[in-house]
């Protein structure tokens, strides 16, 4: 494969970084919205990439998040809200949580590819690391260098880093997950959450999640 045909070229990612910075500066979606419901069986049907489940696989409530790695609101959720959600609901067996790829740009696609290839047992930790250090790679002049530096902390060497970014099959599958979310479930912004199939868009705090989870938890 020639460098000219490489889907995630350095020049393309540098161009995208400027756009990602503009997205980060955009105003937040202040209001969450319950925007319909999809069949849980359809939502949980196999994707181009296997879901990585956090929590009890048999939990009564399933939360699916569609996120983009360059989305500042997604980073805020994972930093400010997700720890409480994990402590109170995921770790206690009440909720299983699935993050699905919905990259808004090629740079986000690259980040998801790299996180996936660390392995299923390390993907979510890598996502948390990338969100925590988002400003160090997503909104800089040399985003690939920033990504490489962050992922060194997760044990990824430069040779593996470069090989993953040339993996056209993985690139295609990440974007197929995104396309299915958009076409089947109407996802058009990040973060978007499905709680037992009910769709919520915009920012949600831990109280919002608590109310939605309680409403969908079977009475004992």
25 pLDDT exceeds 50?
no
When pLDDT is cut at 50, 70 and 90, the band that residue 4 belongs to is very low
Residue 166 has a pLDDT of 97
Q: Are 97 and 53 in contact (CB under 8 A)?
A: yes
Q: Encoding tokens for residue 60?
A: 């009564």
pLDDT at 134 over 90: yes
- What's the pLDDT at 194? 98
**209: enclosing H helix or E strand:** helix 206-216
Token pair for residue 154?
């997760």
Sorted by where each starts, the structural domains of the chain and their CATH numbers stand as: 3-214 (3.40.30.10)
Question: Which pLDDT score is estimated for 35?
Answer: 66
Name the residue among 203, 184, 202, 153 with its Cα closest to residue 38. Answer: 184
pLDDT value of position 2: 36
Provide the b/e sequence for 182-196 (b: ≥16 CB within 10 Å): eeebebeebbbbbbb
If you count them, how many residues does the chain have? 220
- In the prediction, which pLDDT does 22 show? 44
Question: What's the N-to-C CA distance of the chain in angstroms?
Answer: 58
pLDDT, position 202:
82
Mean pLDDT of the chain: 88
Percent of the chain surpassing pLDDT 90: 81
- Reference 176, options 16, 49, 24; nearest CA is 49
Query: What is the pTM for the complete model shown?
Result: 0.86
Span 107-136, mean pLDDT? 96
Give the residues across from 100 on adjacent strands.
66
What's the per-residue H, E or C state across 128-145?
A: HHHHHCHHHCCCCCCHHH
pLDDT classification of 76: cutoffs 50, 70, 90: very high
């Amino acid at each position: 494969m020639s460098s000219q045909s490489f889907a995630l070229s350095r020049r393309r990612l540098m161009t995208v970084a400027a756009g990602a910075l503009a997205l980060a500066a955009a105003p937040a979606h202040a209001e969450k919205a319950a925007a319909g419901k999809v069949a849980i069986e359809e939502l949980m049907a196999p994707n181009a990439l296997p879901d990585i489940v956090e929590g009890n696989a048999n939990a009564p409530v399933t939360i699916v998040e569609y996120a983009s790695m360059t989305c500042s609101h997604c980073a805020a959720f994972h930093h400010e809200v997700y720890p409480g959600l994990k402590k109170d609901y995921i770790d206690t067996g009440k909720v299983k949580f699935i993050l699905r790829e919905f990259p808004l740009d090629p740079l986000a696609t690259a980040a998801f590819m790299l996180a996936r290839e660390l392995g299923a047992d390390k993907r979510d930790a890598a996502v948390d690391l990338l969100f925590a250090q988002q400003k160090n790679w997503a909104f800089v002049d040399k985003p690939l260098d920033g990504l490489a530096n962050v992922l060194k902390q997760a044990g990824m060497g430069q040779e593996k880093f470069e090989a993953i970014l040339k993996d056209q099959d993985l690139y295609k599958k990440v974007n197929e997950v995104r396309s299915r979310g958009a076409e089947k479930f109407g996802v058009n912004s990040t973060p978007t959450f499905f709680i037992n199939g009910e769709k919520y868009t915009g920012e949600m705090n831990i109280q919002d999640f608590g109310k939605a989870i309680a409403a969908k938890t079977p009475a004992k």
